[in-house]
Amino acid sequence: MRRFLFSDPDFQTAFKAFLDERRGSPADVDAAVAGVLEAVRTQGIEALLDYSRRFDKVDLTAETIRVTAEEIEAGAAETPADVREAIAFAAARIRAYHSRQRPADQAWTDEAGVELGWRWTPLEAVGVYVPGGRAAYPSTVLMNAVPAQVAGVDRIAMVTPPGKLQPAVLAAAKEAGVTEIWRVGGAQAVAALAYGAGPIQPVDKIVGPGNAYVTAAKRRLYGVVGIDALAGPSEIVVVADNKNNPDWIAADLLSQAEHDPAAQSILITDDEAFAAAVEQAIAERLKTLATGEDAAASWRDHGAVIIAPLDESPALVDAIAPEHVEFALDNPERLSDRVRHAGAIFLGRVTPEAIGDYVAGSNHVLPTSRAARFQSGLSIYDFIKRTSIVKCDPASFAVLGPHTVALAKAEGLPAHALSASVRLPSGD
């Protein structure tokens, strides 16, 4: 864990160096992924099944790679009642939140008489990657599949690493209306969704987080398919004053640190004694936390405490551009309203980021690695596309045509100019 004093003359240099540190995949990941993608592209289901045997130690066939409807039902039934209730509660809130994002089609006639507008249509087929390595993630199913469902996507194909399928994941899939689930993970799963492999038909877009291999595969396949984003290790910034319970803030910082040894947790406070109390609370919690090994590595290698006036926190948050930021303060909007770059903002002392991970209704698939500077979290907009509409009659074309000809000639594109000029009364 690093400690930074805003008053230190070298603060900006040291802080920038900290932010520039690489957190993520080793350099050899991309090369390995390239081979996997090419094998699946050229060999299809045979390569997919071979990688399942080699990497996952699971012997599947083209017939057993798909999760059956009976397995989905059995998994949902096996899920404890309180978890099923929480899944339904979360799904309803996610559905309601994303339903409000639906944009309207537009159509109008402008002063030249041209009919203009746009219409929104859902994607036909989307692939959802659900990790299965470190834990079971029913929330990932909901956060990715429910917005796609709200958008009206025709086909949602879910992939998740083989082995024991966690009942809660299957319960979440059932709640989200996902009936197509494939037992395949890693870069090979992403390749199968992009190119198709045996019974797995290709999709138009792939969403959902994964490990370094999954992320590298999505990066390489962008253009073959659409992708939501390139997910990196999780991040949280907590802006807190000394009125907070140090143990609460420690828990919030650990809530992201436990995801991955490469995750990043940062505390910004104006009180050094409070910061020390939070650090002590983290040390105590790590002694008993089941995920303590990963959390401890994350806090040790990538954690930070910044001692700074709270009025400086919006600028610091913008420099970090974190996935999540909490303002655990009275009147948090006074500072949060000045933040431009953050995936999600959590306001007040009783709004921990974990609420957003599960049941707030907002999406937990958020930009990482400072991508909040230019990107938003997952939304209905990831599952719909806008088509422009233009219609001229002879009178309105007579207004637009000459300007089209002039610009086309200026660009050295005579066929463009001709396409317009032949429709003008003067001909070509």
**Using alpha carbons only, how large is the chain's radius of gyration in Å?**
25
Q: Are 227 and 295 in contact (CB under 8 A)?
A: no
The response to whether 272 counts as a known ligand-binding position is no
The response to whether 369 counts as a known ligand-binding position is no
The response to whether 302 counts as a known ligand-binding position is no
The response to whether 256 counts as a known ligand-binding position is yes
Active site residue 323: yes
Kindly name the residue from 324, 326, 341, 353 that is annotated as catalytic.
324
Q: Which of 282, 394, 386, 274 is nearest to 329 (CA)?
A: 274
Active site residue 324: yes
The response to whether 234 counts as a known ligand-binding position is yes
Kindly name the residue from 323, 341, 353, 364 that is annotated as catalytic.
323
The response to whether 211 counts as a known ligand-binding position is yes
The response to whether 188 counts as a known ligand-binding position is yes
The response to whether 43 counts as a known ligand-binding position is no
Look up residue 7 and give its two tokens: 């008053």
Q: Are 105 and 374 in contact (CB under 8 A)?
A: no
Tell me the residue type at 305. V
Q: Which amino acids are annotated as binding site, given as ranges? A: 129, 188, 211, 234, 256, 259, 324, 357, 411, 416
Query: Which residue ranges make up the annotated binding site for substrate?
Result: 234, 256, 259, 324, 357, 411, 416
The set of catalytic residues is 323-324
* Residues in binding site for Zn(2+): 256, 259, 357, 416
**Binding annotation for NAD(+):** 129, 188, 211
